[in-house]
Amino acid sequence: MSTDVVTRALIREARPEDDKVVGDLLVEAYTTQYAKKLPEIVYSEQRKAFLRDVASRRKAGTVLVAELDGEVVGTVALYPPGAPGSEAWLPDTADLRALATSVRVHGQGLAQPLLAQTEVLARRWGVKAISLHVRRGAVGVARMYQRRGYQRVPAGDLEKPDVFLEAYVLPLE
């Protein structure tokens, strides 16, 4: 982890003017870095359009960005319980989605301050836990969440037509 990048990063709420850069960052991260680990995965135009639809995520929940020297280099979304687009399966649980860092800073620990801020936000909301889903086979991604205290909960797994998603929960109580 590069402590320099982590300590210099400013974590803030995304604004409408961030939507395009955040969407492009998500598509680039998912189609390059994550695809290196899971080369069999093909991102459809529909999936790319979902990743680029940052405005809808901002409307349904909170999108955070990591800014480094004025450039957005990371993002994550947190949906409150019951929000449109949430995949949380437990009551009183926030749903974490669309975590990514720019290819330029990938692997330097920037996900950690983004995740820490989602935990602050979820506690402010008064929820009991944060849930998320990880594509089956994304072992490194799952391990990162488990190191933060997320626990595997197979009861929340989602089987979609094109992907199997494994469920994880971070209890906040």
Residues 6+ apart with CB under 8 A from 50: none
81-97 burial string, b = 16+ CB within 10 Å, else e? bebeebbbbbeebbbbb
Q: Does domain 3-171 have CATH number 3.40.630.30?
A: yes
What are the domain boundaries of the chain?
A: 3-171
Q: What is the pLDDT of residues 118-158, one digit of tens each?
A: 999 999 999 999 999 998 888 888 999 999 999 999 999 99
The closest of 98, 79, 97 to 25, measured between CA atoms, is 98
Q: What is the pLDDT of residues 79-115, one digit of tens each?
A: 999 999 899 999 999 999 999 999 888 888 899 999 9
Residue 2 has pLDDT above 70, yes or no: no
Alpha carbon distance 150, 170 (integer Å) = 4
Q: What is the pLDDT of residue 38?
A: 67
Q: Where are the beta strands (DSSP E) in 7-115?
A: 10-13, 62-68, 71-79, 93-101
